[in-house]
Amino acid sequence: MTKEECKKVVLDIIADIAPDEDLSNVKPEVRLRDQLQLDSMDFLDIVMELRKRHGIEVPEADYQQLASLDSCADYLTPKFLAVAAKG
């Protein structure tokens, strides 16, 4: 998985948990909470959906890594690759 593909996965999850938001112009370097109506429960949703859909665990200490699409990609892409490697 590439970082761009990883961002797409995160955006797909956000589209489901924040269905009123316009995601066509999300800036990858800007904090998601600064450009979208997302609260702490929504971030728990992102964590839950990563777990359910992709088998990826995000420990609470790492939640800050999900702040922006860029940081999501940096943090999650190795996890996706690790899950893929496990088969």
Note whether 18 binds other proteins by CB under 8 A.
yes
CA distance 58 to 22: 26
Which pair of structure tokens corresponds to residue 5? 């593909």
Q: Which of 60, 87, 84, 80 is nearest to 9 (CA)?
A: 80
Minimum separation from the CB atom of position 3 to other proteins (A): 27
- Segment contacting other proteins by CB under 8 A, of 27-35, 43-51, 61-69, 73-81: 43-51
Q: Inter-axis angle of helices 40-54 and 3-17, to 10 degrees?
A: 120
Out of 25, 29, 41, 87, the only residue in the binding site for other proteins (CB under 8 A) is 41
Q: What is the DSSP letter of 28?
A: T
Out of 23, 51, 74, 81, the only residue in the binding site for other proteins (CB under 8 A) is 51
> Which residues form the interface with other proteins (CB under 8 A)?
17-20, 37, 41, 44-45, 48, 51-52
